[in-house]
Amino acid sequence: MVGLRRAKTVLLVLVVVISNTIANGAPLARGPKESAPAAPVGATAGAVGGPAAAPTGAAGSAGSLDVKAAGAKGDGTTDDTAAFAAVWKTACEAAGPSTMTVPKGDYLVNEIEFLGPCKGPVTFEMHGNMKAPATVAGSKPNCGWIDFTNLADFTLNGNGAIFDGQGSIAWKANDCAKTGKCNSLPINIRFTGLTNSKIIGITSTNSKLFHMNVLNCKNVTLENIGIDAPPESLNTDGIHIGRSIGVNLLGAKIKTGDDCVSIGDGTENLIVENVECGPGHGIAVGSLGRYPNEQPVRGVTVRKCIIKNTSNGVRVKTWPGSPPGIASNIIFEDITMDNVSTPVLIDQEYCPYADCKAGVPSKVKLSDVTFKNIKGTSATKIAVKLICSVGTPCTNVALADINLVHNGAEGPAVGACANMKPVLTGQMIPPACTEIAKPGP
């Protein structure tokens, strides 16, 4: 009887202790396979007195970071560079996904590099515009105004945002047409070393030099891109792509003073689709062969594009006297031309400056180049012009379903060739190679 009373007393004490423990908020012990519940969002490990917001730069997702909250004015006159740099640093150092937000406004920003690698995926979300200083300051060769560098899983959502290079003063100071040295002005936007990334809905206007450079990138998609500059803006290539694998340019409206799209050495598995080009110099592979040790160009497809009022259509251009090089598996198809000079062009004697080795054959080997379903109007009598290297002949250049007409006083359109004989299929207007092609315009 006494033993029974003692057992009841012990049991009562245990019940009281457990009840008080639970009431005071202390957890019960767990077995080795039972994990503790996740801390509330914003809680800091070891915090006393309940959850606390994570400090700036703390490990974990940074959420959305606003440049105006960091001091940016967005009034178009205040220098907001420091605020952009500070917010990027926080976003890039966050271990989880983060978003850098640019609210509505016009942000004056000097040359800035958004540099990785970052600890987690970063989204650059724009609702405002960025503006460069108008003055022409000395820049390092091949520098950029806005640089995105060494980033993986990066997204730039432009939502129609404008990157205004304010280049009109620079165009007047640009003498590269005379000197051939054109790299002393900043490129508007450079994407360098990006992997598995997307660039969506941005417009570059009035760049001092090239509008966009895509270099050393892998698996990058550009969608809904705008380029806007007048014809007198020298060396303002719209989008230049080089030394990159798996780039997709899907939808762009480009008006500029140079090539709408230029494709440089080392480009592989590129798709250019649904581009509206003009005014400008057309869509070009090259120029290739100006420098030693250029990388091969392989697997380029340009399709479903409209080219209007340009000085060239679709073309491949290589320098005479070049080092050895390779460009192969290039397709231009389903292209509409509207008042375009020389809509179809291979030029292996490309010589825009006086310092090229005219008369010395190009050593860039062109092979498996196809022009298919090219239709519309030519502003010049020579609508198809194919000049291959006499020293390194082109192989398997094909024309298929060409219908290009010229309505000028010189008479109907003609096709001209030199050092090559194309493979012909389907409709051929004008007839191919009825004249001997000569270098120059």
Encode pLDDT of 182-215 as tens digits.
667 899 999 999 999 999 999 999 999 999 999 9
Separation of alpha carbons 154 and 279, rounded Å: 31
Q: Encoding tokens for residue 31?
A: 């077995």
Separation of alpha carbons 133 and 34, rounded Å: 59
Q: Given pLDDT bands bounded at 50, 70 and 90, which one contains residue 181?
A: low
Q: Given pLDDT bands bounded at 50, 70 and 90, which one contains residue 49?
A: very low
Does residue 242 carry a pLDDT above 80? Answer: yes
Q: Given pLDDT bands bounded at 50, 70 and 90, which one contains residue 370?
A: very high
Highest mean pLDDT out of 14-23, 52-61, 311-320: 311-320
- The pLDDT assigned to 352 comes to 85
Separation of alpha carbons 210 and 228, rounded Å: 11
Residue 240 annotated among the catalytic residues of the structure? no
Q: Given pLDDT bands bounded at 50, 70 and 90, which one contains residue 440?
A: confident
Does residue 32 carry a pLDDT above 70? Answer: no
Q: Given pLDDT bands bounded at 50, 70 and 90, which one contains residue 175?
A: low
Q: Given pLDDT bands bounded at 50, 70 and 90, which one contains residue 419?
A: very high
Does residue 275 carry a pLDDT above 80? Answer: yes
Q: What is the pTM of this model?
A: 0.85
Does residue 38 carry a pLDDT above 90? Answer: no
CB 392 within 8 A of CB 365: yes
Q: Which residue's entry shows tokens 């051939």?
A: 180
Q: How far apart are the first and last CA of the chain?
A: 118
Does residue 6 carry a pLDDT above 60? Answer: no
Q: Mean pLDDT over all residues of the chain?
A: 86
Q: Given pLDDT bands bounded at 50, 70 and 90, which one contains residue 425?
A: very high
CA angle 120, 122, 126 (to 5 degrees): 170
Instruction: Count CB neighbours of 118 within 10 A.
Output: 21
Q: Which of 190, 178, 185, 369 is nearest to 288 (CA)?
A: 369
Does residue 23 carry a pLDDT above 90? Answer: no
CA angle 14, 20, 21 (to 5 degrees): 90
- The single residue of 127, 211, 240, 281 carrying the catalytic annotation is 281
CA distances from 39 to 24, 28, 43, 93, 266 (A): 18, 17, 6, 21, 49
Q: Given pLDDT bands bounded at 50, 70 and 90, which one contains residue 139?
A: low
Does residue 253 carry a pLDDT above 90? Answer: yes
